[in-house]
């Protein structure tokens, strides 16, 4: 069985974008705009069509069984609007994910986005996490380490303001993928430099702060193969060893709480990841349909068909089973294979 | 012959830091403080001692011949002070580099820092570049893609405000290492997430903007093994292929103007770099004495002894000569081996 731990609903029918554009127009005119959750009229047929032509087709073509499915990351845009609009937007996006998982319980399991909002407390995110997990069977969430959208002017992940969320993750026994959204800072390209830089930044914040000492049960997935971290594993290992007296965690200690996904879109990158990071800390993922949709002209294969890279990697069959199937069940204990999610 | 293209004077006698602290105190009290260049009293003996105990000892121990030597990157701190203090600080730091290269013409070749300053034009940097190259024999410079120190609120590298500097680089036929300094943003750790994230960001800015179309002769070195870029080479290649119509450069086009150094502190990282990036685009470097000073307890070897990784890599002797010796002479045509620099 092959479980993809990182997929976003990037192919939603236009009504979802129209809802968001109306929100944006309203908060653009009045930053204190509240509005209401309202409704988005998308029939099951439209949902089915958007998935059958994209994620489900690729799942079948690539022999994948199940995708942990969350709202489109680049659309979370926590920097847009305010706490109210962020809340309604998150609820709508998460409700769509729930419907998709009800339509295809064997193909998708639900992961939620959170209504983070610059300057607001984390309370609304805890509330939405509880709603999704306790009432709607979600098994994990995405946490944005920079809800400012590339301005990096909010609290760091070890700041006490994040603690209610970390406590809720531990209590509910769900992991967090630490995943930024689109950037409004022209220095960064969202799915290029911003995603990868943020992955590295999140890892570093946890390592230097010793955050996991306070939350030994917390589980983080650092997506996109961990940003730059595995490629520079010696750098991080050496820096941590020099700074244990300052409270840093060692890389081995980090691996008690951190997993990396396989969203690395060429064979040498996957080979490095699997060489450097223990098998037990790697989760299969492709993030399709995502940042890179095309085929590599050198190979004729889709860049994001990461299964092929893992299949070809010089690891044992037992290791492959761990990466494809069993590690993810450890990290997401609420995932129930074969049951409706 | 082994040439290290990336070394900083991180071991300067205390008088240099005292000069800077006095500047910081003065601009702290009055942001419009001008002051004067003044003098820093450091005798040759103190310079010699600081180098013999550190960089020269390690050069000898590791069998390295020559280091392209620039002021301490984390101390450039362009976000501190104003155009005037940044200018005097840069001149002092570069003057020290000149003295060192006069003392050890066979061991060091001079690379300068520039007096970038948030909100100021690039003119002072062009002036200092010309002073260093035309009057003092410098062969390259370091350009900070984020002189704000992690706030990322200045112009991007493709902005027209940078063009006078790019024009000067081309005219003088010197390359730029695109290298940030320390960060004042608590989200980033300077030599960890900030350095690596900035490397990736600089590459992405050039790729998405097509900057090198306007400066086909410009040569950039992206340090620290290119940040996250080689590890995610498939991602960058695929994104570029999807966006050629939007004016992006392909990764092959980028390699006409960009080189990566070997400051990657473990064997698997170097192996990936040399596997993915053409030999002609890799320059040997260690950045000692720098971010990681210790030995890897698993191997007993210094993390930053990158020569060992290159020696062991599965490449031909011809490739090793290119990486150690000949590529760097192509990128730095003002480097004259055997002559006083």
Q: Is A251 on the interface with B (CB under 8 A)?
A: no
Cβ B268–A269 below 8 Å, yes or no? no
Q: Which pLDDT score, from 0 to 100, does residue A285 have?
A: 98
pLDDT of residue B289 exceeding 60, the answer is yes
What is the least distance, in Å, from the CA of B224 to any CA of chain A? Answer: 9
For B223-231, what is the mean pLDDT?
98
| Residue B227 to residue B231: CA distance in whole angstroms | 8
Q: How many CB atoms lie within 10 A of CB B25?
A: 11
Task: List per-residue pLDDT tens for chain A, 341 residues long.
Answer: 999 999 999 999 999 999 999 999 999 999 999 999 999 999 999 999 999 999 999 999 999 999 999 999 999 999 999 999 999 999 999 999 999 999 999 999 999 999 999 999 999 999 999 999 999 999 999 999 999 999 999 999 999 999 999 999 999 999 999 999 999 999 999 999 999 999 999 999 999 999 999 999 999 999 999 999 999 999 999 999 999 999 999 999 999 999 999 999 999 999 999 999 999 999 999 999 999 999 999 999 999 999 999 999 999 999 999 999 999 999 999 999 876 44
Residues of A in contact with B308 (CB under 8 A): none
- Over the stretch B162-220, which tens digit does the pLDDT of each residue have? 999 999 999 999 999 999 999 999 999 999 999 999 999 999 999 999 999 999 999 99
Can you tell me whether residue B302 is helix, strand or coil?
A: strand
Output the CA angle B232-B233-B239, nearest 5 degrees: 95
Beta bridge partners of B221: B177, B259
Is the peptide bond prior to A289 cis by the omega test (within 30 degrees of 0)? yes
- Is the pLDDT confidence value at B339 over 90? no
Residues 185-204 of B with CB under 8 A from A: 185-189, 191-193, 196-198, 200-201, 203-204
| Contact yes or no for A292 and B227 at CB 8 A | no
| ipTM of the shown complex | 0.98
Predicted confidence band of residue B337 (pLDDT cuts 50, 70, 90)? confident
Residues of B in contact with A153 (CB under 8 A): 151, 185
Is the Cα torsion angle A317, A319, A321, A323 positive or negative in sign?
Answer: negative
pLDDT of residue A338: 72
Q: What are phi and psi of A139, to 5 degrees?
A: -115, -5
C-alpha dihedral, A302 to A306 to A311 to A314, nearest 10°:
120
Is the minimum CB–CB distance between B136 and chain A shorter than 8 Å? no
* Torsion angles phi and psi, residue A187, rounded to 5: -70, -25
Are the C-beta atoms of B6 and B223 separated by less than 8 Å? yes
Establish if B227 touches chain A: CB-CB under 8 angstroms.
Answer: yes
Average pLDDT over residues B73-84: 98
Residue from B197, B202, B251, B300 whose CB has the most chain A CBs within 10 Å, to mutate:
B197
Catalytic (active site) residue B21:
no
C-alpha–C-alpha distance, residues A339 and A281, integer Å: 25
Percent of chain B with pLDDT over 90: 99
How many angstroms separate the CA atoms of B99 and B111, rounded? 12
Residue from A154, A138, A207, A147 nearest A181 by CA:
A147
Judged on CB neighbours under 10 Å (0-12, 13-18, 19+), A238 is: buried
Put simply, the answer to whether A291 touches B224 (Cβ < 8 Å) is no
**Considering only CB atoms, which chain A residues are within 8 Å of B198?**
197
Q: In the structure encoding, which two tokens stand for residue B112, read together?
A: 């300068």
Place of tokens 């809340």: A87
Q: By the 8 A CB rule, do A272 and B231 touch? A: yes
User: Is residue A86 a contact partner of residue A124, using CB atoms and an 8 Å limit?
Assistant: yes
Question: What is the model's pTM?
Answer: 0.98
Residues 275-304 of B with CB under 8 A from A: 275-276, 291-294, 296-297, 303-304
Among A41, A287, A318, A325, the active-site one is: A287
B340 pLDDT more than 70: no
Q: Least CB-CB distance to B292: which of A196, A225, A239?
A: A239
DSSP B267-285: HHHHHHHHHHS-GGGEE--
Secondary-structure breakdown of chain A: helix, strand, coil percentages, each rounded to the nearest 5 = 50, 10, 40
Asked if the Cβ–Cβ distance from A268 to B233 is below 8 Å, we say yes
The neighbouring-strand residues paired with B222 are: B260
CB B198 within 8 A of CB B144: no
Predicted local confidence at residue A20, as pLDDT: 98
Closest by CA position to B101, among listed B19, B37, B61, B44: B44
Provide DSSP, A27-60: HHH-TT-----------HHHHHHHHHTTHHHHHH
Angle between helices B163-172 and B123-130 (to 10 degrees): 10
| Degrees to nearest 5, angle at CA B128 with B126 and B134 | 95
- Give just the sign of the alpha carbon dihedral A302, A296, B256, B266: positive
């Amino acid at each position: 069985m092959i479980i993809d731990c990182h997929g976003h609903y990037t192919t939603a029918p236009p009504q979802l974008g129209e809802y968001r554009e109306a929100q944006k127009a309203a908060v653009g005119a009045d930053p204190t705009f509240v509005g209401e959750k309202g409704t988005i009229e998308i029939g099951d047929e439209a949902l089915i069509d958007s998935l059958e032509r994209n994620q489900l087709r690729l799942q079948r073509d690539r022999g994948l069984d199940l995708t942990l499915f969350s709202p489109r990351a680049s659309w979370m845009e926590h920097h847009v609007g305010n706490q109210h609009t962020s809340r309604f937007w998150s609820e709508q996006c998460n409700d769509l994910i729930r419907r998709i998982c009800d339509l295809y319980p064997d193909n998708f399991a639900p992961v939620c986005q959170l209504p983070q909002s610059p300057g607001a407390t984390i309370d609304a995110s805890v509330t939405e996490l509880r709603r999704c997990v306790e009432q709607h069977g979600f098994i994990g969430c995405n946490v944005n380490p920079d809800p400012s959208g590339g301005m990096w002017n909010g609290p760091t992940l070890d700041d006490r303001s994040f603690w209610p969320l970390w406590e809720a993750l531990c209590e509910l026994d769900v992991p967090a993928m630490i995943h930024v959204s689109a950037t409004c800072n022209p220095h960064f390209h969202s799915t290029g430099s911003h995603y990868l830089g943020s992955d590295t930044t999140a890892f570093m914040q946890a390592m230097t702060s010793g955050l996991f000492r306070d939350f030994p049960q917390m589980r983080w997935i650092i997506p996109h193969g961990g940003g730059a971290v595995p490629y520079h594993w010696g750098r991080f290992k050496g820096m941590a060893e020099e700074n244990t007296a300052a409270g840093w965690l060692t890389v081995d200690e980090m691996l008690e709480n951190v997993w990396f996904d396989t969203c690395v879109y060429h064979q040498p990158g996957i080979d490095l990841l699997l060489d450097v990071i223990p098998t037990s800390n790697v989760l299969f993922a492709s993030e399709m349909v995502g940042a890179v949709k095309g085929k590599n002209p050198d190979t004729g294969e889709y860049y994001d068909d990461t299964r092929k890279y893992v299949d070809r990697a010089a690891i044992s069959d037992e290791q492959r089973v761990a990466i494809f199937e069993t590690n993810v069940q450890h990290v997401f204990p609420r995932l129930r294979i074969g049951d409706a999610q």
